[in-house]
Amino acid sequence: MVRRCLNCMKEFEIPAGYENERFCCPHCGFVEGTPPAEINHLFPGTILQNRYQIGVVVGFGGFGVTYKAWDRELGITVAIKEYYPAGTVTREPGKSHVIVYEGSHRDDFYKGLDRFLEEARKTAQFEHSQYIVQVKNFFQENNTAYLVMEYLEGISLKEYLKQYKYLDPADAIQITDSVIEALKEMHNAGILHRDIGPGNIFLCGNKVKVIDFGAARLSDEDREVTRSIVLTPGFAPPEQYQSKSKQGPWTDIYALAATLYNMVTGKKPDESTDRVQEDLVPEANKVNPAVSEKLSNAIMKGMAVNPELRFRTVEEFADAIHERTEVDTPKQELKKKKKKRLIQILAVAAVLLVGALIAGIHYMKEYRKTHLKAATISVWVSYGEDAGEEKAKQRFEDITAYFKSNYPQITLEVEYIPEKDYQNRVTEAGKNGKLPAVYMADGLGQAGTSFAEDLDGVYDDLSLSDYYYLEEYKKSDMKSIPMGLDVPVAYVRRGDGIDLSTIEISSFDQLREEPSKGYYISVDSYSMQFNSFKGKYEFKNGLQMDETAKKMISETAESGYAADTAEKAREGFKNGEITYYMADLRELGLFNDMAGIYAVKPIRSGEVTGELCDRWSISAGLGTKERAAAEQLLVSMLTENGQTAMHITNTDAIPINKDVCQEFIRLNEQLSFLEEYMEDLHFLYEDRAEEREASRELQDTVIVRKVKTVQEYLED
453: left (phi over 0), alpha (psi -120 to 50) or beta: beta
DSSP string, 4-30: E-TTT--EEE--TT-TTS--B-TTT-P
In this model, does residue 106 exceed pLDDT 50? yes
**Predicted pLDDT of residue 347:** 60
Taking only the tens place, the pLDDT of each residue in 409-464 is 999 999 999 988 998 899 899 889 899 999 998 878 766 778 899 998 899 888 88
Q: How far is CA 224 from each of CA 247, 387, 394, 396, 604, rounded to the nearest angstrom?
A: 9, 10, 11, 15, 31
- Tell me how crowded residue 300 is: count the other CB atoms within 10 A of its CB: 25
Task: Please state whether beta strands 609-613 and 682-684 pair in parallel, antiparallel, or not at all (unpaired).
Answer: parallel
- Taken as a whole, the chain contains a residue count of 716
Confidence of residue 687 (pLDDT cuts 50, 70, 90): low
Alpha helices in 432-507 (DSSP H): 456-460, 470-476
DSSP string, 343-354: HHHHHHHHHHHH
**Predicted pLDDT of residue 405:** 86
Bridge partner list, 410? 375
Percent residues over pLDDT 70 in the chain: 91
Residue 379 and residue 393: Cα distance in Å, rounded? 12
3-class DSSP string for 537-586: EEECCCEEECHHHHHHHHHHHHHCCCCCCHHHHHHHHHCCCCCEEEEEHH
| Selected residue with higher pLDDT from 661 and 514 | 661
**Predicted pLDDT of residue 352:** 52
**Predicted pLDDT of residue 444:** 80
In this model, does residue 677 exceed pLDDT 70? yes
Task: Please state whether beta strands 682-684 and 537-539 pair in parallel, antiparallel, or not at all (unpaired).
Answer: unpaired
Report how far Cα 553 is from the mean position of its chain's Cα atoms. Answer: 33
Cis check for the bond before 249: say yes or no (omega within 30 of 0): no
Residue 701 and residue 693: Cα distance in Å, rounded? 13
- Tell me how crowded residue 354 is: count the other CB atoms within 10 A of its CB: 12
CA max distance for the chain = 109
Please give the DSSP secondary-structure letter assigned to residue 464: G
Residue 517 and residue 509: Cα distance in Å, rounded? 13
Taking only the tens place, the pLDDT of each residue in 177-202 is 999 999 999 998 888 888 899 999 99
With beta carbons less than 8 A apart as the criterion, state whether 255 and 182 touch. no
Confidence of residue 521 (pLDDT cuts 50, 70, 90): very high
pTM value is 0.52
**Predicted pLDDT of residue 350:** 56
Determine the number of helices (DSSP H) and then strands (DSSP E) in the chain: 23, 29
- Nearest CA among 443, 447, 446 for reference residue 435: 447
Q: Extract the runs of DSSP E, i.e. beta strands, from 283-367.
A: none
With beta carbons less than 8 A apart as the criterion, state whether 219 and 187 touch. yes
Count the alpha carbons within 13 Å of 323 in the hemisphere toward its beta carbon.
Answer: 9
Taking only the tens place, the pLDDT of each residue in 689-715 is 788 889 999 999 999 999 999 999 988
When pLDDT is averaged across residues 511-524 and rounded to a whole number, the result is 90
In this model, does residue 315 exceed pLDDT 70? yes
**Predicted pLDDT of residue 650:** 73
Grouping H, G, I as helix, E, B as strand and the rest as coil, residue 150 is strand
Confidence of residue 138 (pLDDT cuts 50, 70, 90): very high
**Predicted pLDDT of residue 318:** 96
Taking only the tens place, the pLDDT of each residue in 533-549 is 999 998 888 888 999 99
Residue 299 and residue 303: Cα distance in Å, rounded? 6
Residue 186 and residue 193: Cα distance in Å, rounded? 8
With beta carbons less than 8 A apart as the criterion, state whether 619 and 451 touch. yes
**Predicted pLDDT of residue 533:** 92
**Predicted pLDDT of residue 220:** 40
**Predicted pLDDT of residue 60:** 85
Residue 668 and residue 646: Cα distance in Å, rounded? 15
In this model, does residue 465 exceed pLDDT 50? yes
Residue 549 and residue 537: Cα distance in Å, rounded? 6
Q: Extract the runs of DSSP E, i.e. beta strands, from 297-421.
A: 375-383, 410-418
- What is the C-alpha radius of gyration for the chain, rounded to an integer number of angstroms? 30
Taking only the tens place, the pLDDT of each residue in 317-370 is 999 999 999 999 888 877 776 565 555 555 655 555 545 444 443 444 444 555
Helix axes 360-370, 624-638, angle to 10 degrees: 80
| Selected residue with higher pLDDT from 621 and 593 | 621
When pLDDT is averaged across residues 678-688 and rounded to a whole number, the result is 73
| Selected residue with higher pLDDT from 669 and 581 | 581
When pLDDT is averaged across residues 454-481 and rounded to a whole number, the result is 88
- Nearest CA among 276, 274, 292 for reference residue 284: 292
Count the alpha carbons within 13 Å of 591 in the hemisphere toward its beta carbon.
Answer: 30
The chain-wide mean pLDDT, for the chain, equals 86
Percent residues over pLDDT 90 in the chain: 51
Report how far Cα 304 is from the mean position of its chain's Cα atoms. Answer: 21
Please give the DSSP secondary-structure letter assigned to residue 594: G
Taking only the tens place, the pLDDT of each residue in 380-389 is 999 887 778 8
| Selected residue with higher pLDDT from 468 and 241 | 468
How would you class 87 by CB atoms within 10 Å of its CB: exposed for 0-12, middle for 13-18, buried for 19 or more? exposed
- Tell me how crowded residue 71 is: count the other CB atoms within 10 A of its CB: 18
Report how far Cα 171 is from the mean position of its chain's Cα atoms. Answer: 32
Alpha helices in 467-546 (DSSP H): 470-476, 526-532
